[in-house]
Structure 1
Amino acid sequence: MSGTLLVEGGKEEKQGSVLILSWEYPPNVVGGLSRHVHDLATTFAKKGRGVHVLTARTPGMLPYEKVDGVEIHRVHPLHPYEDDFFKWVIDLNHAFIRYAGELMTHEHITLLHAHDWIVGTAARHLKSTRDLPLITTIHATEHGRNHGIHTDLQRKIHEEEERLTRDSDHVIVCSDHMKEEVKNLFPAAEACAVIPNGVDLDHGSEPETSNDDGYFFAIGRMVSEKGFETIIHTAARMKEEERDFSVVIAGKGPLLDDYRIRVGEAGLSGMINFVGFISDEERNRYLRGCRAVLFPSLYEPFGIVALEAMAHKKMVIASNTGGLKTIVKHEQTGLLFQPEDADDLYGQVLRVMENRQQAEEWGRNGHKLAESMFSWERIAELTWQIYEDVRLEAKVAGGAQ
């Protein structure tokens, strides 16, 4: 940090603003968290609410800019290229604390909203030193991602999550499954509300371009918890039976090269195409052109991309796990199969291949569900109501003004 605060000079906000802390924010997109924070913040701004986002610096991006009404502040940790991830996180939090302290001398911040453990140290420090209420959204837990705590790093992250949820005035999670998980792992998180992720529904008016011999589509980080091995096993059976099956799988991650090698060695290159990282525009093109979308996750707190598929009126085939099973209602808005069960996935894929009309009906039902329950306008209002409730509680208790 240069020590110079870059904000619009002379502007005083009549209403208090929220300061959102998130280590990733577009164009830095690692997972669903980045898009969630962006869409929530921009929806707040559209409604005339003051919102600042404090995030990590992205190469080529300005340290401060105002986009779609959202004031974005990007800071470097002291050692931006630190190889030790946990040390990098500590450095980033120190930079957040320093910058936020300067920001609050110019802006009327009345509430903090932290997203996941990476920004937890800064959020807890600002809450205690500035006497501000703190809301935290937990998007996933280290225990859930790894089916337990097995390493020292995982233990450290788990402890950071525990401290953050304990010190928050209110915790937000995206599904009933996640609420149960958080309450079991962190009993001190007494106030916990379920507010689902939202989805951009503008895609619903775009033309459908799929056809009877189209491909299936899947997208996610190339990590074991996303379950892409199940698709590989299903494709192998399709090949044995000489069925005309193809799937495009998008995303980056540590297992991408391994998956590509395994597909090649199994002779499945003509069926499975791992295309790597794609832009939002490319993702939308793949969604429009596919016949159905596959989500074979072993662990999925919510499943935002399943909602994006529904926004395109696409049929969804998903693992019967986590938040996915709350979005996808079997034989109503899509099809469910048991996680890691390639035979079950094979059977559900065949149903789609053999009955396009039924699949399209389920796709339309999914769009109706997304439209009624998961618009960003609705999600933002539910979130802002929690802000107001927590602000009121703080004022009653003689805390934040």
Structure 2
Amino acid sequence: MLQRIVLINDKYGGFGGTEEYINSLARLLDPLGYETSIIYGKKYPKNFSNPLIREFRLPFLKERYAKAKPYELAKLCGYINKIRPDIVYIHNIFDYRIITAIRKAHLGKIIWYCHDHFFYCLTELKVFNDRQYELPLGKHCITNIQAGRCIERYPLRDLNLNEIFLERKKLLESSSLFDEIVVISKYMESNLIKNEVPKEKINLVPRQVYIPEKIERKEEGKNILYVGRVVKEKGVDHLIKALEFIYCNVKLTIVGSGDAGYIEKCRFLAKALKGKKKGLEIIFTGQKSHREVFEFYKKASVVAIPSLWPEPFGVVAAESLAHEVPVVAYNVGGIDTIIKDGETGLLAEPRNIKELGEKIGYLCSNKEESRKMGKNGRKFVKLKFDPQKHVDAILRLFS
């Protein structure tokens, strides 16, 4: 019998990890008799389409800090009534009013996938400028932002922080309206429990990862690869500084776009370091498609993940291992879900630039050990994160 699922997200298309997940899930569910629809706020590129997904656009869903108006909620409920889904699967939705309206409009099962820290962190990043941050959402968050202690994804100090705090508390409380909650790392599970989300609703589900059937390695020399947003919380400046502690000629390729001011800072650091270290190459490629990124994996000796913020999971780490490329990363957040220190890569103490550089250099200089970790990593990803395992787990929640 045909089953209908509607996904609700702020964005649709080729934006990032959530949008890639949505398209991947539709492909996996289609052969199983599921009809997939999406209600979203913004699409990029504008001509993007997936023949397996019916589209319904509501621009107000794209706003992170807007308060949905009654007529907007009525439109949303109208679409839900039109689709008549068996399952509502919510992703990046940031307004408790929307969740409350969906619960009133839909008597069936509602599932929420908690992708990041938005529900319980005002800055969304859960990290100080100088160290990690582990406390749950509270009034202290306002004080820390006002004092400039937090790395901020978006400028917050000029906004009404008390109002944002109250909105976020209500959003967190609205999690009680979900029938099931999906997380993809024990770290994310622990954060929700710490913030008093009902433990019995939380389900640790293996994230699906694209695993190429065949591995085609084209490694040339000692190539270090970074893939991701080029922003402060991702620690790209740490990675560039870490090259000073690598005592062989290497090439660093930085794939991704981000904050223009921060990218300029990283380019300045790169230029200064290249002036001191002869034979060092540092290349900024800008944004690339998933298909293009996979070509970079083929040529990489090691993938570096110098994140300062606690990564909820680490999709880049999993993709790297799927391509038999070992990973060196700061040990933050859920990254240890993927990187088993000494087996599938190497973990460095967060913000220890010297240790990060030395461990990257070790894998660049010890090819046999590097290949062994890469092969271990691919086996691990195939065992734990095969797409079918994710679908099986999601279907159990659907039933």
Q: Please indicate, yes or no, whether the TM-score normalized by the shorter chain is above 0.5.
A: yes
Aligned-partner residue type, residue 350 of structure 2: P
Aligned-partner residue type, residue 251 of structure 1: G
Distance in structure 1 (CA, Å) of the matches to 2:263 and 2:283: 11
1:399 corresponding residue in structure 2? none
Distance 1:350 1:372, change over 3 A: same
The reply to whether residue 139 of structure 1 matches residue 146 of structure 2 is: no
On the 8 A contact 1:52/1:71 being kept in 2, the answer is: yes
SS where residue 11 of structure 2 aligns? coil
2:256 corresponding residue in structure 1? 251
Distance 1:233 1:365, change over 3 A: same
On the 8 A contact 1:23/1:119 being kept in 2, the answer is: no
Distance in structure 2 (CA, Å) of the matches to 1:230 and 1:170: 38
Alignment of 1:31-70 (within 5 A): 31-58=16-43, 61=46, 67=51, 69-70=52-53
Alignment of 1:191-202 (within 5 A): 191-202=201-212
On the 8 A contact 1:123/1:134 being kept in 2, the answer is: no
Deviation string, structure 1 residues 276-316 (Cα, Å, up to 9, x no partner): 21111221111111111111112101001111111111111
> What is the number of residues matched between the two proteins?
359
Percent of aligned pairs with the same amino acid:
19
Deviation string, structure 1 residues 41-75 (Cα, Å, up to 9, x no partner): 32112322222122224266469x652x3323334
SS where residue 56 of structure 2 aligns? strand
On the 8 A contact 2:222/2:364 being kept in 1, the answer is: no
The reply to whether residue 19 of structure 1 matches residue 6 of structure 2 is: yes
SS where residue 10 of structure 2 aligns? coil
1:158 corresponding residue in structure 2? 168
Aligned-pair RMSD on alpha carbons? 2.7
1:3 corresponding residue in structure 2? none
| 59, 62, 65: which one aligns with 1:76 | 59
Distance in structure 1 (CA, Å) of the matches to 2:75 and 2:46: 20
The reply to whether residue 207 of structure 1 matches residue 216 of structure 2 is: yes
SS where residue 171 of structure 1 aligns? strand
On the 8 A contact 1:45/1:70 being kept in 2, the answer is: no
Compute the displacement of 1:190 (Å): 4.3
Structure 1: which 5+ runs fail to align?
Answer: 1-13, 389-401
User: TM-score, normalised to structure 1's length?
Assistant: 0.81
Distance 1:120 1:158, change over 3 A: closer
Distance 1:54 1:189, change over 3 A: farther
Distance 1:157 1:264, change over 3 A: farther
Distance in structure 2 (CA, Å) of the matches to 1:33 and 1:339: 26
SS where residue 329 of structure 2 aligns? strand
SS where residue 104 of structure 1 aligns? helix
The reply to whether residue 109 of structure 1 matches residue 71 of structure 2 is: no
Distance in structure 2 (CA, Å) of the matches to 1:137 and 1:59: 21
Alignment of 1:2-401 (within 5 A): 14-27=1-14, 29=15, 31-58=16-43, 61=46, 67=51, 69-77=52-60, 86-87=65-66, 90=68, 95=72, 98-105=75-82, 107-118=83-94, 121-142=97-118, 143=121, 145-147=125-127, 149=141, 150=145, 151=156, 152=161, 155=165, 158-159=168-169, 161-188=171-198, 190-202=200-212, 204-211=213-220, 213-238=221-246, 243-254=248-259, 255-267=262-274, 270-298=280-308, 299-388=310-399
SS where residue 218 of structure 2 aligns? coil
